[in-house]
């Protein structure tokens, strides 16, 4: 299946490979994205996991994966991918396993690992042009421990460790730019609520060699404080308001795959989430909302 | 006077062909080369760096198969080592000191994966203050990680122990990684004559890694290192690792016997140097044990019945072998080249606890701390320790642990402090 062949929703894989009944929260935007990613990647994969929500996917003796899995630690999943990839290459080269037994090596971490503790290992893996796929499910905080702020947390968001009237004082780190600065084969942002865009990017990445880096914004009912049924809606609003730009980096260039020409106001995205409720109640904090809107506008002003 | 055995010209030539002057680091690298390792994740750190440079040179020069990759930290290096071993290839790596501690989370983790490989540690004191000289605080910090540990006292032992370590690690009854330790500077950069075993005999002793059920392949999907919920499954897997480590005592004896048959060198789990009829023995690990042997010889010449008991295998701890060698001794001098702050020497603590209640346990076991950060232990200090022990045996009172330090050293440190004070005063007036 080539990327060009995924044109319409009906071109998406019709068989679903990831098992049901995982301990993820209902409405988990990360699991929504992973389902779709796994359908494209298939079962000839080994997932190398770092500490985070998705570590709980594989709890002895159960796993939703049809392929393989290795849990490492919070900081070094890309180094685990290095060891497995190198070992598979050695085994193939010495004909100790057949070509059919080869696996795609996929790193799976949250934003806590990707934006922070695991950044050095990720940088090293890209420096070494490791042939692997990195999936970061980004729910903008240390979700598995109860949503403390991470360097992926957006400005003004309430978290378990930024509960003041102004929320998180910092700004979401631009991981896309940091990864792209390493010139890997591919970097892309995706979101589960845009399945066609997601599948095209994962299929494109699947067919490439070298480091292929994916950041999936993952609406999080428990961390962002909203009704689980709103996950897809919030995901769509993240794109339509321009808060989450869908883009890819290939051959040294950044290309936006969806440009919302008539962007909806960020307020529409913010007001559905309890983590931004302090911007609306007891009274509207127009200045912070305007500040967030201005940052989004400024981003898109620079997109040709 | 020592009488040399008459040798033929052919024997001399053979010896020259196989014996080389090697540093401990080069001996470790030769061990990895002869073990025909597939994969070497690496990271430089003094005093270990020569090991990975030597291996890198051989691989680049086409003298050795295998793939080497330099990671961006020791934490990543051990992750890659464990992950590759969990995929079914033979892995070698090396580190020292701060590097071993930086990797500590992953030492525990990959041991729990039951991923067999060999890691050489070149011992060096820990920060702070940061230093380069050898002691065993680094390797003993990894004591409870699940890695088995072999401690070496000379360069030949380093090479031989790397080969034996693979047999231990890969044994189906064990399947745990093994740390082989040598002391920084005293062994790492000291050249000694080392006999290089020939590759074909090594291949008989150590056939290619039969990974059996350890793999990641498309045709046999596998989840490794998954989470557990609750203390019951957790305890089960932790107990399994402990029992596997304990299997190492018997497996070690078999491996050592086989090694001696093929290569003519006997490396017991615990070295017994003139200890059989000794009244008092030194008990210590690593290269400084060779200094103790020299002291034993001098004291024997002076008519004293002194010996040395040196554990090579520290994990699993060969408690019964140690107890057997120490049974009936009047006194034991434990020299710890490490320091557990607020407790004392690690070897002393372990030895006394393992001997407690044994009917023939020595009555006097005295703790001495020495050799930290590469500080020498002089012959006079060995003699003094024996003299202290004799007095303790006579009185029946075990003295408090001693921190070895001489008046001369203290005077030298006072001089450094004086300089520091003068500089501080002078600069504070500016």
Residue B392 φ then ψ, to 5°: -65, -40
Q: Say whether A127 and B80 touch across the interface (CB within 8 A).
A: no
> Does any CB of chain A come closer than 8 Å to the CB of residue B230?
no
Contacts (Cβ under 8 Å, ≥6 apart) of A178: A119
Distance CA B407, CA A5 (A): 83
| Apex B423 CA angle, B420 and B427, nearest 5 | 140
Share of chain B above pLDDT 70, in %: 96
Chain segment B402-427, per-residue pLDDT in tens: 999 999 999 999 999 999 999 999 88
Contacts (Cβ under 8 Å, ≥6 apart) of B413: none
- The residue ranges of every structural domain in chain A are 3-301
Element (H, E) at B93: strand B92-95
In this predicted structure, what is the pLDDT of residue B1? 38
Question: Contact, A26 vs A221, CB < 8 A?
Answer: yes
Chain segment B207-226, per-residue pLDDT in tens: 999 999 999 999 999 999 99
Residue B12 has pLDDT above 80, yes or no: no
Query: Tens-digit pLDDT profile for chain A (304 aa)?
Result: 566 678 999 999 999 999 999 999 999 999 999 999 999 999 999 999 999 999 999 999 999 999 999 999 999 999 999 999 999 999 999 999 999 999 999 999 999 999 999 999 999 999 999 999 999 999 999 999 999 999 999 999 999 999 999 999 999 999 999 999 999 999 999 999 999 999 999 999 999 999 999 999 999 999 999 999 999 999 999 999 999 999 999 999 999 999 999 999 999 999 999 999 999 999 999 999 999 999 999 999 999 7
CB half-sphere exposure, A288, CA atoms < 13 A: 22
Residue B41 has pLDDT above 60, yes or no: yes
Distance CA B163, CA B422 (A): 54
- Residue B281 β-bridge partners: B307, B332
Distance CA B299, CA A130 (A): 60
Nearest C-alpha in B relative to A97: B217
Contacts (Cβ under 8 Å, ≥6 apart) of B305: B277, B278, B279, B280
> Does any CB of chain B come closer than 8 Å to the CB of residue A100?
yes
User: Which CATH code is given to the segment(s) A3-301?
Assistant: 3.40.50.970
Q: Say whether B67 and A72 touch across the interface (CB within 8 A).
A: no
In chain B, what residues touch A67 (CB-CB under 8 Å)?
218, 221
CB half-sphere exposure, B364, CA atoms < 13 A: 25
Distance CA B395, CA A158 (A): 70
Token readout for A138 is 């980004």
Residues of B (34-93) whose Cβ lies below 8 Å from A: 38-39, 41, 67, 69, 71-73, 75-77, 79-89
DSSP string for residues in B293-308: HHHHHHHHHTT--EEE
In this predicted structure, what is the pLDDT of residue B430? 60
Candidate from B81, B222, B227 with C-beta closest to A83: B81
In this predicted structure, what is the pLDDT of residue B2? 44
Q: What is the mean pLDDT of residues B102-130?
A: 98
- Residue B93 β-bridge partners: B119
Cis bond upstream, residue B47 (ω within 30):
yes
Give chain B's domains with CATH numbers. Answer: 10-263 (3.40.50.970), 270-409 (3.40.50.920)
In this predicted structure, what is the pLDDT of residue A244? 98
> Does any CB of chain B come closer than 8 Å to the CB of residue A23?
no
Separation in Å, CA of B107 to nearest CA in chain A: 11
Q: Say whether A121 and B73 touch across the interface (CB within 8 A).
A: yes
In chain B, what residues touch A80 (CB-CB under 8 Å)?
79-80, 82-83
Q: How far is CA B379 from the centre of its chain?
A: 23
Candidate from A59, A65, A80 with C-beta closest to B83: A80
Separation in Å, CA of B24 to nearest CA in chain A: 27
């Amino acid at each position: 299946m080539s990327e060009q062949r995924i044109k319409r929703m009906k071109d998406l894989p019709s068989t679903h490979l990831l098992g049901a009944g995982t301990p993820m929260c209902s409405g988990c935007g990360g699991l929504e994205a992973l389902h779709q990613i796994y359908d494209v990647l298939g079962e000839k994969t080994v997932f190398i996991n770092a500490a985070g929500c998705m570590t709980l996917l594989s709890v002895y003796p159960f796993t939703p994966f049809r392929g393989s899995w290795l849990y490492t630690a919070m900081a070094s999943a890309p180094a685990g991918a290095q060891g497995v990839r190198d070992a598979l290459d050695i085994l193939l080269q010495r004909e100790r396993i057949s070509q059919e037994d080869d696996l795609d090596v996929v790193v799976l971490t949250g934003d806590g690992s990707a934006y922070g503790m695991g950044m050095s290992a990720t940088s090293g893996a890209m420096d070494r042009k490791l042939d692997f796929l990195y999936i970061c499910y980004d729910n903008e905080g240390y979700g598995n421990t109860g949503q403390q702020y991470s360097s992926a947390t957006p400005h003004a968001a309430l978290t378990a460790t930024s509960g003041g009237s102004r929320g998180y004082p910092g700004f979401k780190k631009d991981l896309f730019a940091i990864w792209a600065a390493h010139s890997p084969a591919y970097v892309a942002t995706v979101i589960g609520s845009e399945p066609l865009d997601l599948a095209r990017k994962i299929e494109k990445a699947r067919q490439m060699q070298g480091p292929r880096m994916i950041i999936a914004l993952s609406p999080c009912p428990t961390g962002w404080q909203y009704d689980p049924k709103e996950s897809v809606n919030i995901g769509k609003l993240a794109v339509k308001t321009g808060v989450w730009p869908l883009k890819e980096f290939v051959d040294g260039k950044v290309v936006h795959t969806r440009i919302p020409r008539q962007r909806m106001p960020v307020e529409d995205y913010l007001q559905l989430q309890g983590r931004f409720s302090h911007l609306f109640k007891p009274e509207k904090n127009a200045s912070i909302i305007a500040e967030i809107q201005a940052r989004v506008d400024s981003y898109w002003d620079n997109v040709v | 006077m020592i009488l040399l055995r008459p040798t033929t010209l052919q024997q001399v030539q053979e010896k020259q062909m196989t014996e080389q002057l090697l540093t401990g680091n080069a001996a470790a690298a030769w061990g990895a080369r002869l073990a025909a390792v597939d994969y070497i994740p690496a990271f430089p750190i003094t005093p270990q760096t020569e090991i990975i440079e030597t291996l890198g040179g051989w691989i680049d020069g086409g003298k050795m198969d295998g793939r080497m990759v330099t990671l961006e930290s020791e934490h990543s290096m051990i992750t890659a080592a464990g992950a590759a071993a969990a995929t079914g290839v033979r892995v070698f790596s090396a580190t020292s000191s701060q590097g071993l501690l930086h990797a500590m989370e992953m030492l525990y983790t990959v041991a729990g994966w039951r991923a067999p490989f060999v890691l050489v540690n070149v011992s060096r004191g820990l920060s702070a203050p940061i230093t380069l000289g050898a002691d065993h605080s680094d390797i003993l910090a990894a004591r409870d990680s699940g890695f088995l540990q072999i401690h070496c006292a000379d360069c030949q032992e380093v090479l031989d122990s790397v080969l034996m370590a693979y047999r231990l690690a890969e044994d189906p009854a064990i399947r745990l990684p093994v740390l082989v330790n040598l002391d920084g500077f005293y062994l790492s950069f000291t050249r000694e004559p080392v006999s290089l075993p020939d590759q074909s005999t090594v291949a008989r002793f150590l056939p290619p890694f039969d990974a059996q059920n350890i793999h990641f392949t498309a045709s046999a999907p596998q989840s490794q290192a998954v989470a557990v919920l609750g203390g019951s499954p957790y305890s089960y897997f932790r107990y399994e690792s402990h029992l596997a480590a304990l299997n190492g005592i018997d497996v070690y004896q078999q491996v050592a016997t086989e090694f001696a048959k093929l290569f003519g060198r006997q490396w017991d789990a615990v070295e017994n140097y003139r200890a059989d009829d000794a009244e008092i023995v030194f008990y210590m690990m690593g290269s400084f044990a060779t200094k103790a042997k020299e002291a034993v010889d001098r004291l024997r010449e002076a008519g004293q019945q002194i010996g040395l008991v040196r554990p090579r295998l520290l994990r699993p701890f060969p408690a019964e072998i140690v107890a057997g060698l120490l049974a009936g001794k009047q006194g034991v001098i434990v020299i710890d080249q490490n320091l557990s702050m607020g407790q004392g020497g690690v070897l002393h603590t372990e030895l006394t606890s393992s001997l407690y209640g044994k009917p023939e346990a020595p009555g006097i076991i005295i703790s001495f701390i020495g050799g930290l950060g590469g500080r020498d232990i002089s012959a006079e200090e060995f003699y003094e320790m024996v003299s202290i022990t004799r007095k303790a045996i006579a009185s029946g009172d075990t003295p408090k642990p001693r921190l070895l330090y001489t008046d001369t050293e203290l005077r030298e440190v006072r001089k450094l402090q004086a300089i520091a004070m003068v500089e501080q005063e002078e600069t504070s007036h500016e």
